[in-house]
A and B are shown apart, each in its own frame.
Chain A
Amino acid sequence: MKTKKGLAIALYSLFLVLSLTLGFKPGIQTGKNLLDFTVQMMKVLPFAFILIGLFEIWVPREAVERHMGSASGWRGHLWAVILAAPMVGGLYVAFPMAYTLHKKGAGLGAIFTFLGASSLCRIPMLIFEASFLGVKFSMARLAVSLPLVIGSSAILGRVLEKKGYEIHLEE
């Protein structure tokens, strides 16, 4: 796995260098996209990870377990939505955060709701969406998708917990 990743990165770098020297336009465009997105992500990631670090040090496990643990029921899902709502960045920030929450004792159902909610109802994104597609569109989308996500997360969480599944960083 690790060598495969290294190979992909090496091939990609070679592609960029060749495109640059030979003036291959799509390759140069790809390089530009890479720069753009790296800058965008770097505006978010370092801060997000500092917050994750602070969260792991200061928030007691007992508190997360009580509010979002497997036995917390609908309140766990509510907390998941509340935590996801002010987030920036989207899924690529939500995954590391989900790992931290699980490590602190959050149940799998709440974790999947958190992942769903952080793609569906981040407030900064909702405002943007509503201004381009209308408030009715955003509200309808939320009203349909959020209950679906919470319901299926609860089921998925229960099934996986029965199987003894746990989130861990794979090597």
Chain B
Amino acid sequence: MSKKLKIGWFSFSCCEDSTIIFTEMLNDHYAEWSKVIEFQHVRILKKNNMLKGLDVAFVEGAIASEKDAGKAKKIRDNCKKLVAIGSCAVTGMPSAQRNLFDEEKKKEIAFLLERFKLAEKVVPLSEVVKVDAQVPGCPMSENDFLAMLESCLKEFGIR
């Protein structure tokens, strides 16, 4: 069997719009992708996922807690290349909108942040782990993602 690009798809605080765009892109691209891509860790498509030894991790969403930061680091440790996907991962927004709340709104949500051990500020992925590349957009642009995937396939010697 020819070598395939081992990818993972992950999400943190976000609306998962880019995950939906990704599942929609399968409509037109799966027949071709299945020849060159191994969907090694894609929770929206399967249960038996493996984190270890990923070539590329695509990560959607902003980081809103220590726990999520820990998970992001674990993903980083298990992939060769990490790509931030979508606006929340790249800029933090709109998931980071609570960072900009006025005092009144901050006071309202304070007990929830404390009870659920959420961080004081929501941050983009790059503040927690090294990000090698990004596909911005809310949701991500399909063409930009295609170009990114193509460059990954070349980088890892699949094409």
Instruction: Say if A and B assemble together.
Output: no
